[in-house]
Amino acid sequence: MNVPDDLQYAPTHEWLRMEGETATVGITDHAQAELTDIVYVELPKAGAAVTPKQAVAVVESVKAASDIYSPIGGTITEVNQALESSPGLVNTDPYGEGWLYRIRIEAGEELEVLMDPASYRKQIASAGDASV
C-alpha cells in the first residue's frame, strides 16, 4: 500500500497535507482499497466549521456507506467538485485527484493526534483491517 512520506495520517485512515494555514484532506490508499469501488461521495459545505474527529463526509461503495472523520478542526474552504461526477477518483488517485476537501486551520489547533507515515504503515500492517 502506498503511504507517501510527505503526509500526516489519522488512525481512521484519512490523510492530511499541510500547505501553510490550509490543509488538504483525503482518504488513504489502504482505505480506498478496503472500501472497494466508490460510487458516491457526500462532501461538506464550503464555509462549514468542523471540529477534530467530526464526521464531515460520507464515502459510499457498492456495499456500504462509510463516515469520514476530519483529522483536524477548522473551516472548510473548498471541496473537490470533481467527485460529484467521478467518485472513482478516490480509488484511482487517493492522494491526488481524489482529495476530499481543504480546511483552514485556526492558530493553536492540535496536530499531535496525527501519525507520521511510519506509524501509519505500522498500524495498517498490524491491524490487517480498516474500520473506516
Partner 1 sequence: MPESKKTPLYDEHVRHGARMVEFSGWMMPVQYSGIVDEHHTVRKAVGVFDISHMGQIHVSGGGARDWLNHLLTNNVERIGKGESQYTFLLNEEGGVIDDLIVYHYDEDAYLLVVNASMTTTDFEWMQAHARAGVELENRSASFAGLAVQGPKSVQLFDLFFGPTVSRPARNEIRLVNHGGKPLYVSSTGYTGENGFEIFFPAEFAAAVWNEILERGAELGIKPCGLGARDTLRLEMCYPLNGSDLSPTRTPLEAGLSIFVDLEKPGFIGREPLLKQRQEGVKERLVPFKMKDKGPPPRAHYAVFKDGARIGEIASGALSPTLNIGIGMAYVPARFARINEEIEIDIRGRRYPAAIEKKPLHR
Instruction: Give the total of residues touching partner 1 (CB under 8 A).
Output: 12
d(CA 8, CA 14): 9
Helix (H, G, I), strand (E, B) or coil at 132: coil
* 106 is a site residue for partner 1 (CB under 8 A): no
- At its nearest, how many Å lie between partner 1 and the CB of residue 93? 16
Alpha carbons 64 and 61: distance in angstroms, whole number: 5
Told to check if 1 binds partner 1 by CB under 8 A, we report: no
For residue 110, give the DSSP letter.
Answer: -
From 34-42, 69-77, 108-116, 117-125, span contacting partner 1 (CB under 8 A):
34-42
Query: Is 37 one of the binding residues for partner 1 (CB under 8 A)?
Result: yes
Buried b / exposed e along 101-126 (16+ C-beta atoms within 10 A):
bbbebeeeeeeeebbeeeebeebbee
The contact pattern for partner 1, residues 44-63, with x = CB under 8 A and - = no contact, is --------------x-xxxx
Q: Binding pattern to partner 1, positions 64-103, x when CB under 8 A?
A: xx--------------------------------------
d(CA 108, CA 87): 33
Binding residues vs partner 1 (CB under 8 A): 36-37, 39-40, 42, 58, 60-65
